[in-house]
């Protein structure tokens, strides 16, 4: 079904790529640090579905169209940047409370947590282009394409789930260990600035 050496190389390369925090991880960390580990399940589910859908779209050929069409690329790019800006504003505002040390941040619904991470993961033109450019590098020409592509995509999604969960657990631990409202407010604002920076980078991205 798949060449073992190609598969192991894919796993190693994916781990190196995933471990570098992007806008999705930034959002998960900020939410977990503010609201605790209860945010993990819906947030990680959003990451999983976002990656899976982006990969499926790529395999269906839309990724190639995205790479070829300047108009479509611009639409996806600005939609992704706009969503990041919305989330940046939300994070900044959630860190602006002047409540006392005993106050707790307003709980977020699982649906909202899921939606946030899903769209941040999906509305990233680099994500779709990544699957188009990256996955074929580990496809053996001597074996059927579809089974190999499915295995590689599912492996990447699984690694993405583990990566997001580990980052979220670490941030959740910080939520439990550090009770300072100033620390949590600062982390929220750092996350807000990071997401705004990601939006600026998305806007500045040039179609390959």
Q: Roughly how many angstroms between the first and final C-alpha of the chain, as a whole number?
A: 31
pLDDT digits (tens, 9 = 90+) for 80-93: 678 778 777 877 77
For residue 94, name the pLDDT band (cuts at 50, 70, 90). low
pLDDT digits (tens, 9 = 90+) for 52-90: 988 888 777 755 666 667 777 677 667 767 877 877 787
Residue 162 pLDDT greater than 90, yes or no: yes
Mean pLDDT rounded to a whole number for the chain: 77
Determine the pLDDT at residue 205: 57
Determine the pLDDT at residue 100: 46
Which ranges constitute the DSSP H helices of the chain?
Answer: 4-18, 23-35, 40-59, 62-68, 70-94, 110-122, 125-134, 145-177, 181-204
CA distances, 64 to each of 59, 93, 148, 149, 175 (Å): 9, 38, 18, 15, 42
CA 27 to CA 29: how far, in whole Å? 5
């Amino acid at each position: 079904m798949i060449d073992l050496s190609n598969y192991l190389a894919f796993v190693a390369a994916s781990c190196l790529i995933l471990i570098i925090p992007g806008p999705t991880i930034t959002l998960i960390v900020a939410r977990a640090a503010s609201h605790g580990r209860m945010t993990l399940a819906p947030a990680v589910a959003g990451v999983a579905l976002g990656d899976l859908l982006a990969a499926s779209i790529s395999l269906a050929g839309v990724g190639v169209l995205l790479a070829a069409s300047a108009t479509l690329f611009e639409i996806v790019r600005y939609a992704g940047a706009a969503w990041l800006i919305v989330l940046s504003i939300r994070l900044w505002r959630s860190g602006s409370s002047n409540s006392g040390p005993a106050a707790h941040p307003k709980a977020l619904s699982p649906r909202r947590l899921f939606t946030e991470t899903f769209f941040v993961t999906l509305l990233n033109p680099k994500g779709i282009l990544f699957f188009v450019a990256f996955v074929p590098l580990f496809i053996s020409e001597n074996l059927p394409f579809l089974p190999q592509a499915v295995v590689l995509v599912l492996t990447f999604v699984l690694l993405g789930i583990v990566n997001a969960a580990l980052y979220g657990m670490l941030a959740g631990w910080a939520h439990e260990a550090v009770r300072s409202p100033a620390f949590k407010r600062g982390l929220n604002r750092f996350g807000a600035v990071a997401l705004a920076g990601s939006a600026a980078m998305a806007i500045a991205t040039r179609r390959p």
